[in-house]
Amino acid sequence: MARPARRTETPAELLSGMREVIDGPLAEIANRFSQRLADRCPHTALIIFTRECTGRPRKVAGPAEFIERVTVGELDVLRQSLPPGATATGPARLAGGTHRVWSVRDRTDTLLVLTLPDGAEVAAPEELSAQFGIVATSIRQQVAQASPDYLAESRAASSERARTIAELTAVQEATLTGLLGTLRSADLDDRRARAAATEIASGALISLRAAGESDRARFAEPLTEAFARLHAEIDSLLSGRGIDLHCSAPADDRSISGEIAYAARAMVRAVVLAFGAEPGPERIRVAWSCDGDNLLIDAQEQAAGTLDTEALSRQLAGRADAVRGACTLESVPGWGSRVTVTIPLEHTRPHPREHPLSTLNRRELEVLGHLTTGKRNRAIADALGIAESTVKFHVARLLKKLDVTTRGEAAVLGTRLGVGA
């Protein structure tokens, strides 16, 4: 029996659907996009790979036993095999095996990979590429804005990955070192076998150490390099302004997490822009240093001393909170202004949210509110002006987040917590 033809979406439905994909927590964008494509482009897993996110370069949806084994190295090889803007269908190595995939490398250098079931084809690759372009642009903009929630989550992921790498490296290094010690023992008879095994184990040990260093470098930045990038950025911001810029680099060359480095540079850029907006700034000084446990940022300017400290404080607060930092601002008329920031360097997980509804995004809360009134998916879709398939996706997500199994249980919980339509 032939499969019924899929109904073509109207432009309004298409735009509404894409809005639902990009509206929500960045960490879950792959799940939302996968749900969006489920009926139009059957796939077994969806992977988005972007270097924009140091803590979570992979956004994934699909079976955990597969997606958890897909490595950054495999995705990087696939990305580099495609010119920007190109698509491809064919075999690719993922999760240690060969799978048939459809992939596109967006012009933002973000990669989308769909693993295809037997016989499945991407019916409208150009349309899918265009939709992914919206998703990739949204990811770039959200990372650039670095919302506090995502920054904290990404920082925790980066920290966890670094710890995992260190533990695996230590275990494997100890194993290979023990193997080398055994193979070098004089008690072994076969010299040639011992020599060959020693060479293999030595090469594996060198490769493992190199891989550990490469991964650590990918998710961390030496403090001096992070400051050098900042220097170049603010030098460009002040180019042609006639302002004397003096940057004092940190003497400590320890590595810091990519999230801390990003947040620190973003805060200094905001401060420098605020300084530059004052009338007649003559000199701006930016210094980074460490007191052992903290990154210390000191920014000063010589101008009228009319800095709007309240507005700048609000602008810096979100970024500072995300990395558990603290800011102090002062402005003295006729003298100038000064901003100091202290950011702890140690890696800690953000505190888990305790309220049952804190994990739901705005749209999921709206859907839950309608569930409490007993509405079905079609009625909820009409009330919210979205597709019924999108409602199904939100219901599935909120059931999972609330740790309940039925719509009725979710409705009872929502009612108890005061959620209404």
269 vs 242: CA distance, rounded Å = 18
Q: Which residues contact 404 (CB under 8 A, 6 or more apart)?
A: 410, 413
For the structural domain made of 11-145, what CATH number should be given?
3.30.450
What is the pLDDT, as a whole number, of residue 233? 82
For the cut 70, the answer to whether the pLDDT of residue 131 exceeds it is yes
Q: Tell me what the mean pLDDT of segment 340-352 comes to.
A: 65
CATH T-level topology, domain 362-416: Arc Repressor Mutant, subunit A (1.10.10)
Domain 221-344 grouped into CATH 3.30.565.10 = yes
pTM: 0.42
Q: What is the pLDDT of residues 260-312, one digit of tens each?
A: 888 888 888 888 888 877 777 778 899 999 887 889 999 998 876 778 888 88
Sheet hosting strand 97-105, strand order edge to edge? 58-61, 45-49, 111-115, 97-105, 87-94
Q: What is the pLDDT of residues 86-115, one digit of tens each?
A: 999 999 999 888 999 999 999 989 999 999
At residue 8, does pLDDT exceed 50? yes
Instruction: Single out the residue of 262, 247, 245, 251 nearest to residue 224, CA to CA.
Output: 251
Sequence-ordered list of residues with C-beta below 8 angstroms from that of 22, at least 6 positions apart, any chain:
29, 32, 134, 135, 138
Q: What is the pLDDT of residue 179?
A: 56
Q: What digits encode the pLDDT tens for the residues 26-69?
A: 778 999 999 989 878 889 999 999 876 655 678 889 988 898 88
Q: Are the C-beta atoms of 48 and 58 separated by less than 8 Å?
A: yes
Domain boundaries, the chain: 11-145, 149-218, 221-344, 362-416
